[in-house]
Amino acid sequence: MDSLFGNFDLSAFASALLLGISIGSIWLIAALGLTIIYGTAGVINMAHGEFLMLGAYSSYMLQAYFGVPFFLCIPASFVIVGLVGLIMERGLIRYLYNRPLDTLLATWGVSLVLMQGVRLIFGSDPKYIAVPQMFQESVEIGFFSISLFRIVVLLITALLVAMIWYLFYRTRFGMQVRAVTQNKEMAAAFGINSGRVYMMTFALGAGLAGVAGSLFGVLNIVLPTMGTSYVVQAFLVVVVGGGSLVGSVAAGAGTGELQSIFAYFTSDTFARFLLFVLIVILLRYKPQGLFAITKARR
């Protein structure tokens, strides 16, 4: 704690600010799929962490058994986890849309099954995903040094956000999604198949988790329990952002930056505690989050 006011180091502080952007991008990419699923269907998907984990394992599997190059594993993970999400939505979630608390519990049951299933198939020892040598190196930007892979994560996050924005605000499908989000019955009256919209967005959200998972598999080791460490942060990003895309981007960047700044003054864990307390206070004044989606009260 004695670093609180003493020996303030400007360049170290600037590094902390840059690191915050990287942390924010990691939390944001973890939260993207969750945002879409929650924002559209109002489903709290507790299995999201396990979707991340499945993404990491599908990349690992493709790489270790079929020799697929890493950057092809990412889209492949999108497809594989997206299919898992599709099956889950058709088989379980669609029966629970009017019971939000029950979707939370049912998806927790799914997460238990997925975690144990993966443990039975792959074992509980850690796996590693290999990336080309050049991405394991660090780059120096003046006084600041960051691993190249973190920059890749940042770029992929930016790319995904741009693609989602385009999909939701510039395509016919996106307009249907927004219509269903705002008023399901009215949208249905205009001939939009809301069941199909929910199904597609759930699969899309799951697929995005798959992409994030295959990146996390490189940042960290691949374990059956790896999802749980990301999922709470991802949920906080969604809660703070209010479930909209712009909200999640703002919340991801903001919380990541604050985490890094607090961590600079105190320690990593205490920073997390401080951040959580701050979010509780924020919710006191903005219970719907920063950028809430307007929904018809039913």
Partner 1 sequence: MFKSNPYHNKTAQWVVYVLFFGALAFVPVLSDDAFMMNQFATYGVFGMLALSISLCWGFGGILNLGQGIAFGLGAYGMAMTMQMQSQDPETSPMPPFMLNNSVEQLPLMWEPFWHTGWGIFIALAVPTLFCVIFGTIMFRARVSGPFFAIMSLAMLSAWYTIILDSQPFTNGVNGISPPAPLSIGGFEIDPYSGFIYWMVLFLLAAMTLIIKLITTSKFGLIVQAVRADSERVRFLGYSVSYYETVIYAVSGFIAAIAGCCWVVAVQYVSPAQLDVSFSISMVIWAGIGGRMSLLGSIIGAFMIQGGQSYLGDEFLATWLLILGGFFIFVVRFLPKGLAGLLESGLGLLVAKPAAERESAPGPVAGAKVQG
- Binding residues for partner 1 (CB under 8 A): 44, 92, 95-96, 98-102, 104-106, 108-113, 115-117, 119-120, 228, 232, 235-236, 239, 267, 269-270, 272-273, 276-277, 279-281, 283-285, 287
Radius of gyration of the chain (CA): 20
- Length reported for the chain: 298
For partner 1, which is the closer residue by CB, 218 or 254?
254
What's CA 29's distance to the chain center, in Å?
4
- Nearest approach in angstroms of CB 192 to partner 1 is 25
Q: Quick one: angle between helices 245-265 and 10-41, nearest 10?
A: 150
Cα(293)–Cα(244) distance, integer angstroms = 6
For partner 1, which is the closer residue by CB, 169 or 270?
270
For partner 1, which is the closer residue by CB, 178 or 272?
272
- Nearest approach in angstroms of CB 118 to partner 1 is 11
For partner 1, which is the closer residue by CB, 28 or 131?
28
- Nearest approach in angstroms of CB 83 to partner 1 is 19
Asked whether 222 and 61 are in contact (CB, 8 A), the reply is: no
Q: Quick one: angle between helices 194-219 and 226-241, nearest 10?
A: 130
For partner 1, which is the closer residue by CB, 75 or 109?
109
- Nearest approach in angstroms of CB 101 to partner 1 is 5
Cα(230)–Cα(53) distance, integer angstroms = 10
Asked whether 51 and 84 are in contact (CB, 8 A), the reply is: yes
Asked whether 256 and 26 are in contact (CB, 8 A), the reply is: yes
For partner 1, which is the closer residue by CB, 119 or 196?
119
- Nearest approach in angstroms of CB 249 to partner 1 is 19
- Nearest approach in angstroms of CB 147 to partner 1 is 24
How many alpha carbons lie under 13 Å from residue 90 in its C-beta half-sphere? 9
